[in-house]
Amino acid sequence: MSIDERLFLMIFLQLVVVSTASSITVGAEAPDFRLQTADSKTHQLHEMRGSVVFLIAGNRKLRKEDNQWGEAIVADFKKWINNAKGATPVFRCYIIGNMDDVPKFISRQFIKKQLLKKPPPVPLLLDWKGEVHQQYKIECKKRKKPSLYIVDQQGKVVFHQYSKFNRQTYDKIRQLLRNLLSQSNSTDSQKSSRSGVDLIPSR
């Protein structure tokens, strides 16, 4: 192999490492995905335009952490989280579970039954082959923390962080969500005032 060929190979391998290691950056459009929950309902990110979306990505070893994030979100935004009622939901929250590391002898049907029997605080999207985690270049196994994303009404990633549940990070996320949701308030405030429901939950 010539010097030029070796130099080209080195540059190519470096580019591959960089491209596979870098996660989705803030400001980028969130990659579309289509996943189902245990009750076989399909959820596609592209169809959620107009909603603020909070994504909690983890695996089976991080389920407790995933649930803690979901429980905190539900406690603050339970009035209208994932609540369509015939209209586009203002806010959605999902756990994206990487199921690729689940032992193969455990059937999908068994997993679904267990999730239906004891559902998580927010809908859990089943990423059976880990494809969405690969698409978003999520490294939960390496970092041992959930990967958190906020996607705005235009489908842009406006927040990304790996974090175990803690009050400081949650307060930052909560404030950002409130700021984003206040933008929806300008178009829906008259409707919500007639129904007596606050768009931005107070605490």
pLDDT at 87: 66
Q: How far is it, in rounded angstroms, from Cα 56 to Cα 70?
A: 8
CB contact set of 134 (below 8 Å; sequence gap of 6+): none
Q: Which residues of the chain fall below pLDDT 50? A: 5-21, 190-203
Q: Is residue 14 in some structural domain?
A: no
pLDDT at 188: 55
Q: Is residue 146 in some structural domain?
A: yes
Residue 153's domain comprises 41-191
pLDDT at 15: 33
SS3 43: strand
pLDDT at 1: 55
Q: Is residue 23 in some structural domain?
A: no
pLDDT at 59: 92
pLDDT at 76: 94
pLDDT at 24: 80
Q: Is residue 21 in some structural domain?
A: no
Q: Is residue 201 in some structural domain?
A: no
The total number of structural domains that make up the chain: 1
Query: Is residue 50 a contact partner of residue 87, using CB atoms and an 8 Å limit?
Result: no
Mean pLDDT of the chain: 82
Each residue of 4-17: pLDDT tens digit?
544 443 433 333 33
Q: Is residue 46 in some structural domain?
A: yes
Question: What CATH number does residue 182 fall under?
Answer: 3.40.30.10
Nearest to 98 by CA among 52, 147, 53: 147
Each residue of 89-125: pLDDT tens digit?
889 999 999 999 899 899 999 999 999 999 999 999 9
pLDDT at 25: 86
Q: Is residue 62 in some structural domain?
A: yes
Q: Is residue 36 in some structural domain?
A: no
What residue type is 2 in one-letter code? Answer: S
SS3 139: coil
